[in-house]
Amino acid sequence: MSGLDRHGLDATHDAALRSWVASANDLLTDFPLQNLPLGRFRRRGSDEPLRAGVAIGEAVLDLRLACEAGSWSPEMSPLIELLARGELNAFIALGAAARRTLRSVLSLALREGSGSERWLQPCLVPQAQAEMALPCEVGDYTDFFTGIHHATAVGKLFRPDQPLLPNYEWVPIGYHGRSSSLQVSGQDFRRPRGQYKTDAAVPVFGPCQRLDYELELGAIVGPGNALGEPIPMARAEQHLAGLVLLNDWSARDVQAWEYQPLGPFLAKNFATTLSPWIVTMEALQPFRRPFERAADRPQPLPHLDGEANRAQGAIDIALEVWLQTPAMRERGDAAERLMQSNFRDAYWTLAQLVAHHSSNGCNLRPGDLLGSGTQSGPLPAQGGSLLELTRGGREPITLPNGETRRFLQDGDSVALRAFCERAGQRRIGFGECVATVLAPRS
């Protein structure tokens, strides 16, 4: 196996690599040989146990079949056996060295001319025939608020003179979410009911009228830490396995009524959608960027600062939201892109989220999920939620077919997409994070 260079890259990142899986060589695929994200699946319509798979082009490499089909090296065998049993949490708990071993061995096996095609080809399952599950078991879920452009835009709607609260630029703000209502992309959900305030003196209880999406990334914790032992910045990213897309659906009318004094509750916990593939920290390495805080803004306190974080704490990930209405679907029209932003604009880095979360001794565990908060861009058209794009519902957006939206209607389907691209590197993506709003239960 090749060692890492000074940029943290190795032979698996070579943009010239091609796979014997032809669809992986498409320049627009999310899943070229340079990505190799991990997920859990079974064949659609079957009752077989979940097993781990790796996305490659339009296929999934079934690691259970691959474990049975080949003779793997002593270093690789225990890793692929774990994944064959679907024990993704146990695998990511092993840390970066295990992920690099898996990545290196699979990269070699899936390359053109590797000689592995004969015995691995039968282990491929078309993604269209795969029923995906959440990529790992999530015990705890924390949602942060790292998108300063979102925080500023929403703050201006309610506090024009002071959109950011005094603590925002000093501490990564977050709240503990509800892991039981996490669901994988493709699983739809019903419009929630809740209590909210109208102009009447008495609140009402009924279907949410201001349903919204939020464009986020989710970081999956790998190795955990013991209770009472904070994770320092220098080691923070060693505790992350990779990233997924996350849609933090929000009932804005319920949220406005309930959030003070203790923060989000029923407005957030009715559904949260995750994409099915964990894009590993290794796959993201070519797209790292320096983390810089403007000189006229508060600088991170020492426990949230570090040389490595300043050198490459940010990640260049383009983020998009797409909407397809029932009328568009009926006519066969494709979804329309509503906005695009980039994760490099986040006010806090992933390392800072891990360090802060554990700074009081909180113990993180393998599979825990850290939401990034809504990732909006600096321009009004880059809002990561309808709340921003419509200025609180006051200015509806108009779609190309003439339909308008202030907030989501029943039957609307929202898809989040993300990709990384850079000159000299192969483009990689996250796949879709999609769900459709169903009518509330009668």
The model's pLDDT over 185-225, given as tens digits with 9 standing for 90+, comes to 999 999 999 999 999 999 999 999 999 999 999 999 999 99
Total tally of structural domains belonging to the chain: 2
**In angstroms, rounded to a whole number, what is the distance separating the alpha carbons of residues 306 and 326?**
49
Is the backbone of residue 30 left (phi > 0), alpha (psi -120 to 50) or beta?
alpha
CATH number of the domain bearing residue 71:
2.30.30.230
**Sequence-separated (6 or more) residues with CB below 8 Å from residue 141:** 176, 177, 178, 179, 182, 272, 368, 369, 371
> Percent helix, strand and coil across the chain, each rounded to 5?
25, 25, 50
**Residue 79, domain member (yes or no):** yes
Give residue 300's pLDDT: 97
Amino acid (one-letter) located at 242: G
Say which CATH number the domain at 417 has: 3.90.850.10
pLDDT at 5 over 90: no
Q: Could you tell me if 161 and 223 lie in one domain?
A: yes
Sort strands 182-184 and 272-274 into parallel, antiparallel or unpaired: parallel
Integer CA distances (angstroms), 85 to 46, 89, 133, 220, 261, in order: 16, 11, 14, 20, 45
User: Is 5 inside any structural domain?
Assistant: no
The whole-angstrom separation of Cα 62 and Cα 166 is 50
Residue ranges making up the domain that contains 108:
11-132
Of the residues 99, 132, 165, which one is the last residue of a structural domain? 132
Q: Which residue type occupies 195? A: Q
Residues 97, 245, single domain; the answer is no
Question: Is the residue at 237 inside a domain?
Answer: yes
* Spacing of C-alpha 410 from chain mean position: 24
The C-alpha atoms of residue 67 and residue 64 are separated, in whole angstroms, by 5
Q: In this predicted model, what pLDDT tens digit does every residue of 139-195 receive, in sequence order?
A: 999 999 999 999 999 999 989 889 999 999 999 999 999 999 999 999 999 999 999
148, part of any domain: yes
The answer as to whether 1 is a domain residue is no
- Residue 330: how many CA atoms within 13 Å on its side-chain side? 6
Same domain, 184 and 92: no
* Distance between CA atoms of residues 43 and 177, nearest Å: 31
Q: Are residues 59 and 99 in the same domain?
A: yes
pLDDT, tens only, 409-418: 999 999 999 9
* Alpha-carbon span 121 to 288, nearest angstrom: 33
Q: Which pLDDT score, from 0 to 100, does residue 1 have?
A: 44
Count other C-beta atoms under 10 Å from residue 5's C-beta.
10
pLDDT attached to residue 106:
98
Type of residue at 207 = P
**150 and 76 fall within a common domain:** no
Q: Are residues 126 and 145 in the same domain?
A: no
- Whether 167 is in a domain gets the answer yes
Give a yes or no: residue 240 inside a domain.
Answer: yes
**Is the domain of 90 the same as that of 207?**
no
What are the residues facing 274 on neighbouring strands?
A: 184, 246
195 and 344 both lie in a single domain: yes
Task: Using the 3D structure, point to which of 132, 167, 184 is the last residue of a domain.
Answer: 132
Mode of pairing for the β-strands spanning 433-438 and 413-420 = antiparallel
Same domain, 199 and 346: yes
Residues 59-90, buried b or exposed e (16+ Cβ, 10 A)? bbbbbbbbbebeebeeebeebbebbbbbbbbe
Rounded to 10 deg, the angle between the 77-84 and 96-110 helix axes is 90
- Tokens 């691209």: give the residue: 421
Q: Are residues 210 and 252 in the same domain?
A: yes
Q: Is 150 a catalytic residue?
A: yes
Indicate which residue of 150, 239, 356, 357 is catalytic. 150
Is the pLDDT at 2 greater than 90? The verdict is no
Instruction: Tell me which residue of 137, 275, 144, 157 sits closest to 210, measured CA to CA.
Output: 157
- Give domain status of residue 3, yes or no: no
Is the same domain home to 205 and 92?
A: no
Residue 257: which H helix or E strand, with range? Answer: helix 252-258
Pairing assessment for the beta strands 369-371 and 141-144 based on DSSP bridges: parallel
Closest to 350 (Cα-Cα) out of 172, 137, 130: 172
Last residue of a domain, one of 90, 105, 132: 132
Overall pTM surpassing 0.85 (yes/no): yes
Cβ atoms of 205 and 195 within 8 Å: the answer is yes
Query: Is residue 7 very low, low, confident or very high in pLDDT (cuts 50, 70, 90)?
Result: confident
127 and 146 fall within a common domain? no
